[in-house]
Structure 1
Amino acid sequence: MHHHLLFSPEVAAARAAGKPIVALESTIISHGMPYPQNVQMAREVEQIIRSAGAVPATIALIGGKICIGLSDEQLELLGTAPDAMKVSRRDMAYVLSKSLLGATTVAATMICAQMADIQVFVTGGIGGVHRGAETSFDISADLQELAQTSVAVVCAGVKSILDIGLTLEYLETHGVPVVSVGQRGFPAFFTRESGFNADFQLDTAEEQAAFIRTKWSLGLKGGVVVSNPVPAEAAMPREEIDRMTAQALNEAAQQSVTGKAVTPFLLGRIKELTAGRSLATNIALVKHNAMVGAQLAVAMHHA
């Protein structure tokens, strides 16, 4: 397995020294935000993790290798390349065997993190059950990955473009615990509240680390969702986001946007409809998650 992995000098040194490491995905760079905000965000998030005492490992598939930790040039490449593929579990072997440029989703990043013995992964929001999934069967591979891959995923919940109730039901069925930080409510990415509760509220990194360690020491494989709400000052009003989500979903249906193109389309439209305010919220929540994830990685390291 390890002949597929290529560690950056920084991550290799962290592994040798036994330092806490935090995995970061790359789809948020290639498909989640426009240039240059995407690369700027990626660099700032890495810096937040370093300042909290951990080492960032942004993950992508480049030149037939799973790169664990990226150089500035590689971040720039991902942020500007028009042909970067959005890679989930299904796509990994194809992209690696053909030496294509691949940006990792939540699911693929979890797989790569586990291969590299990284226990904590920071993202913006996880995928979920799409609205209308009872007829389309459109369920993000992220959820299945959480059921089987033992990585803690720090996120701002799931985007309100999804069916949040069904997403939480799916996670419960597959035994994936959903933990919230600082509140009982499960957050909905742009907004702090979704109208649903998390399973457990654990406010400190030490509590979260003890919970995760206990889960895995019991032989209970699979991930943990650590849902961390967007800071209040950066959050958007729930009614406004709900209204714009409904409009964007209608437009997606009219234009026959399907599959993995749906989420980038909806996020792009919401950004346009909010005159860019949703992008500022997105960046704020990722940075906040980076801080919480770094603190968790440090606590896991000491646990």
Structure 2
Amino acid sequence: MKRWHQPVLVEEVVGLLAPRPGGRYVDATVGTGGHAEAILQASAPDGWLWGFDRDPEALALAQERLAPFAGRFELQKGNYADLLMKLAPESCDGVLLDLGVSSLQLETPDRGFSFQADGPLDMRMDPAQRLTAADLVNSASEEELARWFWELGGERRSRAIARAIVRARPVTRTAQLAELVCAVVGRGGGARHPATRVFQALRIVVNDELGSLERGLEAAWRVLKPGGRLAVITFHSLEVRLVKAFGRERVRDYECPGDVDVPELRRPRPPQARWVTRKAVVPRAAEVEANPRSRSAQLRVLEKV
């Protein structure tokens, strides 16, 4: 059985990205190719797609999944933050960023992303990268760990968890880390596992997810043609904040010297973008029921003007 996963918000992405025949599109986080497949179908017979991903296992599966569209796509290993090194400015009609960790990664214990099954504390989206979550957990100071857990995970017991980790070192397994967290905060009875925030924070640091997003948004914008659309699917508030700030900067019809928005210093300018939808698009109830991981997904789409 193929390990192809159904991505989130497929119909919504296709509807808002509006792929058309002859268009040139980028799925910058292609995963196992679900969104790419839908974009190629919608842009038949001659739309073209570039797909990028840091995970070679996902790329191999995407290559097989997209085989019926041979001659209309190219897949490359790489971080979407490096799009400008791969593509020419203003060469694309649409770019998709589907952020966060994939189902393929979560469901493979040896990748170390999940606390649902024991595995090495890894969390690298690119297995060729040297830094792992175990490296961070066993070398960072208690203060660094607490700051990551609070700022990147929103974990209120961040200091106590960091203290417990430092005392228990070496911490090398996902189950070991999850148990340490549960021992501090309790197991609770909610839908969210107590270790969720800690795992999220470590994953973000290991993969420089926020830095990659900032660079990737800028790169995606530069490769878009005027009239092209940028679609971004986020899964947590830190991503949402960056995407909304990026959009606000381009939608507004004025600029300010420096980074301070002072009304008296505003200079009129034409807006660089418009929001295609005023509010984030979220999965329908049927999709959340079929795929509970989709419940936190939010889609936002900007059009370059």
User: TM-score when scaled to structure 2?
Assistant: 0.27
| Structure with bigger gyration radius | 2
Structure with the higher helix share, 1 or 2: 1
